[in-house]
């Protein structure tokens, strides 16, 4: 199935590495005007270089998704430059360098920081793009959660599992609120993928036996890739998914 996003404007958060980079490059390759943002300028520079290398340049912007004003500015810039906003991919998130610890050792700041990026950031961007999408009577919002939001986190990080579950709840609520305007809101829940320095450290921490157990617990007996996640996102963004909303798609190789 060949997907074409020519003439569409796409915003991708968390685009400096991993899933966000793969998603940004995929949309750019398929014709979209992509605005890729992150708080990591070096990673954004590399994403831009890779886009140039494949012959489909994109726009990179340093944006903190927890900064509502900065989020609003990016949405306004993208709409003013292209005349429309078609797709939002809320990918920014993660564990922010935290590791699993006993419940009683978690500080208020540790708990809240993960929620701010994973939940507040998705809310801020959805809020920022909704007016343009409503005017167009069409839009696609895709949130990237995690298998941790549907079950138990491999990391043992309480805030991460809770935040991803909250993001799934936000997905379903917005799907019902925005559906009458032709806007779909869906969620991709990746399984474990070696996609960035954090997941690479996690993978190495398992050791050879732990790695084998993880892979054997996957129906397809292999790990996925960032491109697998990008493909699921593009499906939700496509015309083929026009009557699908409020759904969570697990992209995890089968559990």
Provide the annotated active-site residues. 160
Tokens of 247: 């759904």
Q: What is the largest CA-CA distance in the chain?
A: 54
Tokens of 3: 């997907």
| Distance from C-alpha of 120 to C-alpha of 113, rounded to nearest angstrom | 10
Ramachandran area for residue 11 (φ above 0: left; ψ -120 to 50: alpha; else beta): beta
């Amino acid at each position: 199935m060949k997907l074409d996003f020519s003439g569409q404007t796409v915003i991708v958060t968390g685009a400096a590495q991993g899933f966000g980079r793969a998603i940004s490059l995929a949309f750019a390759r398929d014709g979209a005007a992509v605005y890729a943002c992150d708080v990591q300028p070096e990673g954004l520079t590399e994403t831009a270089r890779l886009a140039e290398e494949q012959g489909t340049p994109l726009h990179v912007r340093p944006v903190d998704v927890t900064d509502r004003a900065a989020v609003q500015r990016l949405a306004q810039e993208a709409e003013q430059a292209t005349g429309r906003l078609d797709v939002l991919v809320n990918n920014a998130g993660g564990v922010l360098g935290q590791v699993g610890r006993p419940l009683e050792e978690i500080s208020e700041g540790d708990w809240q920081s993960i929620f701010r990026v994973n939940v507040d950031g998705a809310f801020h961007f959805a809020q920022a793009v909704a007016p343009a999408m409503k005017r167009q009577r069409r839009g696609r919002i895709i949130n990237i959660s995690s298998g941790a939001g549907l079950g138990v986190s491999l990391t043992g990080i309480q805030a991460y599992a809770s935040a991803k579950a909250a993001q799934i709840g936000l997905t379903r609520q917005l799907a019902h609120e925005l559906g009458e305007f032709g806007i779909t809101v869906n969620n991709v829940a990746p399984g474990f993928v070696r996609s960035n320095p954090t997941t690479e450290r996690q993978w190495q921490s398992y050791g050879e036996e732990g790695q084998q157990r993880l892979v054997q617990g996957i129906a397809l007996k292999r790990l996925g890739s960032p491109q697998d996640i990008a493909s699921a996102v593009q499906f939700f963004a496509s015309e083929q998914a026009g009557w699908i909303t409020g759904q969570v798609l697990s992209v995890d190789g089968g559990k």
